[in-house]
């Protein structure tokens, strides 16, 4: 009897040692040893660079680096600093949404230092700024590729789709290159200064798929882009407006109101500094800001 009691006491003591750990594992959602030790990798990191009144967006997918636009003249230092912070050694693909100075004016030093392998564009410009950018790309041996909607681009291991333009209207804003990128089922739309009929066409394509995770709001929040119907079709959970001090009234009160109505949690580079979104391979997303963290328009976090 004494021997049986001693065995039972030992089993009870062992249970006391094991049960807290088991309960802790369940509370933290760990269903197995492999699940509790799993660490997801990074599928995509997107940085909306604070370049004032202009656009510049850095993409990192593994060791692959992309840059969408290059801000206004004088933006070079800010872009180069963020590229260095990201660990980029070279730009694999440069997307020029359209040849306005607030999207390509800060590219010359960036091109010289990071030597893009490929430059993608839809409409050529006729300004000295455009010619200087084109010459700089030629100097570093970049391949120039003109694209239309339906084109597919390899962004590292990720596949990007060109949604616009199908043809050139002659309006450089409307003819912006628009890129849809999916990373671990988080969809990002990069819209340049999209407006008009091409915005309607992009909205119709997006409506056939899942909601956007992040919308880069077109034309710095202009009242003439980002319509109610476009937002209803794209259904963004988050929106980022690339904007700085300007005389145009960007972002317009009308556009901000529309984003609020459609529950898009909205940040701006003017208010929040550089905005970085990191998506892990398991779909978890984290946000970081070099400025304040308060959104311009607060929608439900998804």
Which residue, among 86, 143, 77, 82, has the nearest Cα to 108 in the 3D structure?
Answer: 77
The CA distances from residue 191 to 1, 12, 179, 272, in Å, are: 80, 64, 7, 20
Query: What is the predicted pLDDT for the residue at 40?
Result: 74
Query: What is the predicted pLDDT for the residue at 10?
Result: 45
Location of structure tokens 């590219």: 107
Beta strand spans in 197-257 (E) = 214-216, 238-241
Query: What is the predicted pLDDT for the residue at 42?
Result: 97
Query: What is the predicted pLDDT for the residue at 300?
Result: 58
Tally Cβ neighbours within 10 Å of residue 197: 13
Which residue, among 93, 97, 155, 154, has the nearest Cα to 118 in the 3D structure?
Answer: 93
Measured CA to CA, the distance from residue 122 to residue 262 in angstroms comes to: 30
Do residues 260 and 229 lie in contact, with contact meaning Cβ atoms separated by under 8 Å?
Answer: no
The pTM is what?
A: 0.86
Query: What is the predicted pLDDT for the residue at 114?
Result: 98
Query: What is the predicted pLDDT for the residue at 235?
Result: 98
Measured CA to CA, the distance from residue 33 to residue 18 in angstroms comes to: 15
Measured CA to CA, the distance from residue 62 to residue 45 in angstroms comes to: 9
pLDDT tens digits in sequence order for the chain, 302 residues long:
444 444 444 433 434 333 333 222 222 222 222 333 446 799 999 999 999 999 999 999 999 999 999 999 999 999 999 999 999 999 999 999 999 999 999 999 999 999 999 999 999 999 999 999 999 999 999 999 999 999 999 999 999 999 999 999 999 999 999 999 999 999 999 999 999 999 999 999 999 999 999 999 999 999 999 999 999 999 999 999 999 999 999 999 999 999 999 999 999 999 999 999 999 999 999 999 999 999 988 765 55
Location of structure tokens 């459609």: 262
Do residues 106 and 54 lie in contact, with contact meaning Cβ atoms separated by under 8 Å?
Answer: yes
Query: What is the predicted pLDDT for the residue at 299?
Result: 64
């Amino acid at each position: 009897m004494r021997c049986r009691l001693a065995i039972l006491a030992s089993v009870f003591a062992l249970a006391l040692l094991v049960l807290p750990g088991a309960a802790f594992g369940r509370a933290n959602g760990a269903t197995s040893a492999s699940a509790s030790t799993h660490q997801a990798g990074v599928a995509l990191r997107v940085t909306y660079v604070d370049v004032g009144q202009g656009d510049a967006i850095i993409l990192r997918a593994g060791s692959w680096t992309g840059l969408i636009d290059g801000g206004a003249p004088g933006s070079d230092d800010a872009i180069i600093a963020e590229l260095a912070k990201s660990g980029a050694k070279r730009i694999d693909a440069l997307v020029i949404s359209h040849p306005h100075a607030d999207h390509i004016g800060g590219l010359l030093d960036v091109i010289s230092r990071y030597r893009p392998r490929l430059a993608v564009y839809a409409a050529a410009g006729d300004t000295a700024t455009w010619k200087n950018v084109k010459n700089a790309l030629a100097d570093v041996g970049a391949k120039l590729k003109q694209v239309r909607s339906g084109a597919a681009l390899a962004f590292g291991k990720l596949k990007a789709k060109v949604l616009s333009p199908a043809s050139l209207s002659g309006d450089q804003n409307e003819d912006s290159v628009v890129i849809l990128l999916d990373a671990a089922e988080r969809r990002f739309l990069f819209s340049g200064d999209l407006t008009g009929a091409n915005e309607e066409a992009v909205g119709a394509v997006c409506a056939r798929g899942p909601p956007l995770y992040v919308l880069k709001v077109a034309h710095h929040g202009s009242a003439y882009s980002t319509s109610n119907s476009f937002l209803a079709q794209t259904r963004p959970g988050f929106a980022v407006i690339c904007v700085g001090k300007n005389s145009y009234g960007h972002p317009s009160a009308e556009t901000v109101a529309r984003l609020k109505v459609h529950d898009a949690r909205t940040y701006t580079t003017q208010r929040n500094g550089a905005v970085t979104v990191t998506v892990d391979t398991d779909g978890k997303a984290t946000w970081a800001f070099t400025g304040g963290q308060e959104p311009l328009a607060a929608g439900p976090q998804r």
